[in-house]
């Protein structure tokens, strides 16, 4: 699964994406755009929290990435590819967490 966002950084746009086998698998966040804009956004987004309170860091899950991108308000972001229907942690019934 892939999620791709178009992000406004100081009235310029970068693309930020994550591709992982499933919504709960970890993968690196990928950035495309002007180096200064990428650096500014990367420093910000890697400190944001995902769906279950985890900070993203440089690798995260599609669920956490999706939640952080949609709920942060500092850099307007538009989902341009992929989707997440629900935030399911995929924890088996009866598992101890």
pLDDT, tens only, 49-90: 998 888 999 999 999 999 999 999 999 999 999 999 888 766
Confidence of residue 94 (pLDDT cuts 50, 70, 90): low
Q: What is the CA radius of gyration of the chain?
A: 13
Domains contained in the chain, number: 1
Q: Given a cut of 80, is residue 95 above it in pLDDT?
A: no
Asked if residue 94 belongs to a domain, the reply is: no
Asked if residue 86 belongs to a domain, the reply is: no
**Interatomic CA distance for residues 14 and 50, integer angstroms:** 20
**Interatomic CA distance for residues 75 and 44, integer angstroms:** 9
Asked if residue 97 belongs to a domain, the reply is: no
- Name the residue range of residue 73's domain: 2-81
Asked if residue 87 belongs to a domain, the reply is: no
């Amino acid at each position: 699964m892939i999620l791709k966002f178009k992000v406004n950084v100081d009235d310029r746009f970068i693309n930020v994406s994550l591709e992982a086998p499933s919504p709960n698998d970890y993968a690196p966040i990928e950035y495309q755009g002007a180096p200064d804009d990428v650096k500014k956004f990367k420093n910000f987004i890697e400190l944001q929290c995902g769906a279950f309170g985890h900070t993203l860091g440089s690798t995260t899950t599609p669920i956490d990435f999706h939640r952080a991108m949609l709920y942060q308000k500092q850099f307007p972001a538009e989902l341009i590819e992929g989707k997440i229907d629900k935030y399911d942690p995929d924890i088996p019934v009866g598992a101890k967490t």
